[in-house]
Amino acid sequence: MTSLIAAFQFLTIFPTLIKRMFTAQEMGRAVAWFPLVGAVVGLALFAVNYLSQLVFPATVSAALTLFAWIIFTRAFHLDGFMDTCDGLFGGFTPERRLEIMKDSRMGAFGVAGGVLVLLTEYAALHSSLNLFAALILAPTLGRFASPLVMYFFPYAREDGLGMEMKKNVGVRELVISTLITLLICLSVSNPLSFFLLLASAITACLIAFYVMRLLPGLTGDIYGTVTTAVEMLVLVIFTIQ
């Protein structure tokens, strides 16, 4: 179960039984459990929303739920999305784009992208027609999409944590990740579940293909971008009348 613990430690602030640096092989195996981590995050977010609605109006509850989402995940994927916006739209060559994405400072494109994502997610949470299904499926499918592109698309850099994880992600991890996602979709028992599963896979691949036109491969920031985009897509779809 070390890989499961590694997945929780890597993706969330939730306390785990083991607190240490995990090997590249352990982190690669942890990718298989990403969707399960997403489902647990979703349950925690629904609990926050449910409890906050006992005291506050729906608008405040939506804001508190989004706040908890950022805290529980350490804004890990959102930070990758913002770095990606800076790099892809602020650079004019692959080398310059990668250099910008590696810079910890935030630029105008990143700030604008982050604000727009948070506004969209807040509006979607407030307007959701099935908040339980939305909060379970959004983080689950977001963490199903990243292993998908991690396995099928090349990595842009020759070093880094993302590259070490990719080297250790194989068919086994992809199959386990997919099976976990399918089981979670079944447990939610929502007619949209499997449509959203397909839509998430397509969205992830479209983003990856677009990035491949601008960069020699994907990066850890792109994995975060894929997760963020899929989460936002799922939340928005649950607002359709």
Query: What is the tens place of the pLDDT at every residue in 163-182?
Result: 878 888 999 999 999 999 99
Distance in angstroms (rounded) separating the CA atoms of residues 141 and 190: 14
pLDDT of residue 12: 96
22 pLDDT band (50/70/90 cuts)? confident
Q: Map residue 13 onto helix, strand or coil.
A: coil
- Judged by phi (left if over 0) then psi (alpha if -120 to 50, else beta), residue 14 lies in beta
The pLDDT value recorded for residue 98 is: 94
Q: Please compute the mean of the pLDDT values over residues 150-173 and round it to a whole number.
A: 87
Largest separation between any pair of C-alpha atoms in the chain: 52
pLDDT tops 80 at residue 160: no
Q: Say which amino acid occupies 159.
A: D
Average pLDDT over residues 187-192: 87
Question: Could you tell me the pLDDT band of residue 25, with boundaries at 50, 70 and 90?
Answer: confident
pLDDT over 90 (residue 93): yes
Q: How far apart are alpha carbons 155 and 133 in whole angstroms?
A: 33
Which pLDDT tens digit goes with each residue over 38-71?
A: 999 999 999 999 999 999 999 999 999 999 999 9
Mean pLDDT for 16-31 is 84
Min mean pLDDT across 19-23, 158-162, 168-172, 181-185 is at 158-162
pLDDT at 127 over 90: yes
Long-range contacts of 201-206 (CB under 8 A, 24+ apart): 201/144, 201/145, 201/148, 203/145, 203/229, 203/230, 203/233, 204/145, 204/146, 204/148, 204/149, 204/229, 204/230, 205/148, 205/149, 205/152
Place of tokens 């989402």: 69
pTM given for the model: 0.95
| Whether 239 contacts 125, CB under 8 Å | no
